[in-house]
Amino acid sequence: MITTRATVNAKQQSRTRCSSDSVRSRFWIVCTAWVALLLAGCQPMGYSDDSELFAEPTVVEMEPIEAAPDFALVTLDGATVRLSNLRGRWVLVNFWATWCAPCREEMPYLDRLAAGHADRLSVLAVNMRERTTEVAAFAEELDLQLPVLLTPDDATLLAYNVHGLPISILVDPDGAIVARIAGPLSPGIVETAMTGE
């Protein structure tokens, strides 16, 4: 069998085209799967992995120069809370989920913290996109009085660098982030940060 240069070139072009089509096909499959996961309400960064739970608090104090990214989220009772509307008060933004054991353990403390400093501190419990019925049942079980916010978007999670749970961000009355606490809050951490001692 005689193979001409034209035949070889045609075979190479055919292989290249098949390889290119295969790469393109894989790309669209991955994109489609990613969009399906987002539409299904799945967390984009693997929040359900127990290795992403913080058992002990790690406090990173920050110079009050980074402005807290603004967000507007709906609460369990249908109200909308916008972070920038809380200027003039301290705000503790806590990212949590019902499946996160440390989150469940610290939630009663967060509720007491909010009640004990209601004159100058707002505590916002931002749930990690679980079903509203699950979140409502948990809030009712603990008789939570603090605002429970629902379904933060990816931009908010990225802006606050949420890679594990629980994560708490303390925002000063001027709207600047002054502390980031990874792990369950210990009594006194937030109060100390608020007094600057």
Task: Domain ranges for the chain, please list them.
Answer: 1-40, 50-195
Res 95: pLDDT: 98
Res 66: pLDDT: 83
Q: Residue 189 in contact with residue 181, Cβ under 8 Å?
A: yes
Element holding 20 (H helix, E strand): helix 5-39
Tens digit of pLDDT for each residue in 69-125? 999 999 999 999 999 999 999 999 999 999 999 999 999 999 999 999 999 999 999
Res 47: pLDDT: 41
Res 79: pLDDT: 97
Amino acid in position 176: A
Candidates 109, 100, 106; CA nearest to 52 is 100
Instruction: Tokens 């608020």: give the residue.
Output: 194
Res 8: pLDDT: 47
Instruction: Tokens 């009085």: give the residue.
Output: 145
Res 45: pLDDT: 40
The span from the CA of 20 to the CA of 12, in Å, is 12
CATH architecture observed for domain 50-195: 3-Layer(aba) Sandwich (3.40)
Q: Residue 178 in contact with residue 193, Cβ under 8 Å?
A: yes
The rounded Cα 103 to chain-centroid distance in angstroms is 13
Beta strands in the chain (DSSP E): 58-67, 72-74, 80-82, 90-96, 121-127, 148-149, 167-171, 176-182
Candidates 129, 149, 146; CA nearest to 83 is 149
Candidates 111, 150, 143; CA nearest to 127 is 150
What predicted TM-score, i.e. pTM, was given to this entire model? 0.70
Query: Torsions phi, psi of 159, nearest 5?
Result: -60, -35
Per-residue pLDDT of the chain (197 residues; tens, 9 = 90+): 455 555 545 555 555 454 455 545 555 554 454 444 333 333 434 344 444 555 556 666 555 558 999 999 999 999 999 999 999 999 999 999 999 999 999 999 999 999 999 999 999 999 999 999 999 999 999 999 999 999 999 999 999 999 899 999 999 999 999 999 999 998 899 999 898 75
Q: Is the peptide bond before 166 cis (omega within 30 degrees of 0)?
A: yes
The span from the CA of 123 to the CA of 112, in Å, is 10
